[in-house]
Amino acid sequence: GMLAQDRDGRLAGACTTSGLAYKLRGRVGDSPIIGAGLFVDDEIGACTATGLGEAVMKTLGSFLVVELIRQGRTPQQACEEAVDRIMHKMPVADLQVGYLAMDTAGNAGSCAIHSGFNYARTIAGHTELVDAPHRN
């Protein structure tokens, strides 16, 4: 997934699915479900998800993260809570989910169930690779 903020503070987001390589007949992943794989509220923040779509869909994870930001959590706290909710709902030994979020002030947060989720962050032309915190 991708989150961006332009010079005027407007937010945008995008997410993709794994494509045909992992497509099971009849399966709909989290990417086309608004609020699951991606949610953007230009007044609050944006979130995108990666990992097992079924786990993300069960909590509408990206919507949850943005709603938690609306309620006063930082993007980091919101991503952590969304991951925790998945971890309390199902066994996670064999599944990975990660969230990446940004609020309208440009503050970012991320969290994953397991290590190995990283993302690129670019600010003012400087790009760095960031390892997301993990809970398990």
**pLDDT at residue 23 in the model:** 66
Q: What is the mean pLDDT of residues 25-54?
A: 87
pTM of the model: 0.91
- Whether 110 has a pLDDT exceeding 80, the answer reads yes
Q: What is the mean pLDDT of residues 119-134?
A: 92
| Residue 119 · residue 109 · CB < 8 Å | no
Radius of gyration of the chain, Cα coordinates, nearest whole angstrom: 14
